Homo-oligomer: A and B are copies of this chain.
Amino acid sequence: MEDNTARFEKLLVKNGLKRTAPRLQVLEILSGRDSATSQPYLEQVMGKDADRVTLYRVLQAFEEKGIIHKVLDQQGTANYAICSDGCSAHEHHDEHVHFNCDNCHKIYCLDTVKIPALKVPAGFKVDHLNLIATGLCASCSDKVN
């Protein structure tokens, strides 16, 4: 799992995207984190390596191709995480629960927790489900006690 760069380059090519510095950098940052990453954080980390507009466009392209998925936190800020295998441009499989910690504000993708089936009123056709739980993450509830 060492040579990420080679892996990322394949990922880009596979999706018809050119191998550029800003794109590799975004993948590098996202893969090094255990929770979803906010746009402002990315912007700050990348600094002047890439224009703000470029970052927006990189994220948008990645989302369209199914490389990353977007989660909105309780404030409405966009956060991004690398999709698990199985996502593609045509179909996102990110219907797991996202956990938004009230203390550290990290967003965890709880891949193991599936969203239970849901009964909706007649006529409504559910396409996607998006469940965000808020509370304290394991690390923060430790510290509080």
Task: Please tell me if the beta carbons of A124 and B99 are within 8 angstroms of each other in the complex.
Answer: yes
Task: Please tell me if the beta carbons of A135 and B124 are within 8 angstroms of each other in the complex.
Answer: yes
- When C-beta atoms are compared, the residue in chain B nearest to A117 turns out to be B116
A33 contacts the other chain (CB 8 A): no
User: A116-145: which residues lie under 8 A (CB-CB) from chain B?
Assistant: 116, 118-139, 141-142
Partner of A97, one of B120, B128, B136: B120
Task: Please tell me if the beta carbons of A124 and B138 are within 8 angstroms of each other in the complex.
Answer: yes
Task: Please tell me if the beta carbons of B110 and A120 are within 8 angstroms of each other in the complex.
Answer: yes
Closest 5 CB pairs of A and B: A123-B138, A127-B135, A116-B116, A76-B76, A126-B135
Within the complex, the shortest CB–CB distance from A124 to chain B, in Å, comes to 6
Size of interface on A: residues with Cβ below 8 Å to B: 38
- When C-beta atoms are compared, the residue in chain B nearest to A116 turns out to be B116
- When C-beta atoms are compared, the residue in chain B nearest to A123 turns out to be B138
Q: B-contacting residues of A (Cβ < 8 Å)?
A: 72, 74, 76-78, 97, 99, 102, 108, 110, 112-113, 115-116, 118-139, 141-142
A123 with B141, Cβ < 8 A, contacts A77-B76, A130-B133, A133-B130 known: yes
Which of chain B's residues have a CB closer than 8 A to the CB of A135?
124-128
In the assembly, what is the distance between CA of A131 and CA of B119, in Å?
Answer: 13
A128 with B133, Cβ < 8 A, contacts A123-B141, A142-B123 known: yes
